[in-house]
Amino acid sequence: MQAITIGTAEGIEDIRQRLDDEFRFLQEEGVRIRIGQSNRGSFTFLECSVESAPGTPTRADTLVRHYVANALSDIIVEKWEQSLIRKIIRGTYYYFSRDEQDSIARYSGTNLAGNSTVDNPQLYKVNRKAQVLHRLRDYLDSADELVLEGFVTFRLRDYIEEVEDAVDRAVDDFLMEREYREFVRLLKYFVDVQEPRMDHVHVLIRPGGSFRLVDDDGSAIKSEYLEEFVVEMVESEVNYEDLLISALITLAPRSVTVHAHTTADWDESIETIKAVFGERVKLCERCPVCESAPTLSDESSPATLSH
């Protein structure tokens, strides 16, 4: 069979190690491979040739090409993908600082892993590897020499576009996160400069997206500040999670206890409250205040808001 030659400008040791690992499986099939190494300018080439193989040469040739393709697909997805992400960021988003580019790279990896809260991140990687492996097998079916950099650039355009899309979304995620951090910083400032208007506020979050602000006795909070706030906010378009955070900032309590019987729809808002009020916040799942608080049927109270 014709030797298969793989060239690269970088990472030759990783490639050789991965090929050695693959060729150990071939030894179980009775196929022994010799790997020669040579240099051409800035590129290093590995020449894989069969030393011995039982049966037909065609079968040995097919096995070798399959295992070479498998090794190279692993190298591209496991080793080169992060370098590709960095290259895209440096080329397209060069105006971000080094630390910002590091953050974008992390977001990119998260995007490529899919929605890890409901999906298996490894599944996305396996799918990308299968895509790359298929292209490598097609190429090696009719070619005996492959330069890895050129193959990735010209033969894996759809794979590169997938990575580029992950980077673009990562930039949006990073900017949103930066905007959120600035938002929290400003809210913390407002809380810190205000004189507390209450010692303690209990926030009762109920199923269905409603909340109620009560005092230590479980009575709805009545405050001139809160009444003025509700009149102003009800006239504008704002979601109820924002209303809760704004109401707490208006009251500026010395401490806050959040009673969240169900938090699925409020997780982000609760995290924001914790970020803004810091050690003032305590979370409670069930306590006497939860049990003794008035029902949420009294919608006339300025301290009761619901979807």
177-197 pLDDT per residue, tens: 999 999 999 999 988 888 888
What is the pTM (predicted TM-score) of this model? 0.78
pLDDT tens, residue by residue, 235-269? 455 566 778 888 888 888 999 998 876 666 678 88
Residue 211 has a pLDDT of 78
Region 212-224 average pLDDT: 79
Q: Estimate to the nearest angstrom the gap between the alpha carbon of 136 and the chain centroid.
A: 28
Distance CA 51, CA 100 (A): 51
Cβ density class 92-116: b for 16+ within 10 Å, e for less: ebeebeeebbebbbebbebbbbbee
> Which pLDDT score is estimated for 306?
41
Check whether 305 has a pLDDT greater than 50.
Answer: no
> For the segment 24-33, what is each residue's pLDDT rounded down to a tens digit?
888 887 888 9
Q: Give residue 107's pLDDT.
A: 95
Alpha helix ranges (H) inside 156-239: 157-193, 224-234
Report the largest interatomic distance among the alpha carbons of the chain, rounded to a whole angstrom: 92
pLDDT at position 177 is 95
Query: What average pLDDT is seen over the chain?
Result: 84
The answer to whether 304 touches 206, Cβ cutoff 8 Å, is no
The CA distance from 26 to 63, in Å, is 8
Q: Which domains does the chain have, with CATH numbers?
A: 4-187 (no CATH), 200-305 (3.30.420)
Angle at 42 between CA 38 and CA 44, to 5 degrees: 30
Q: Kindly state the percentage of the chain with pLDDT values over 70.
A: 80
State the DSSP H helix or E strand holding residue 68, giving kind and residue range, or none if neither.
helix 57-74
Give percent of the chain above pLDDT 90: 52
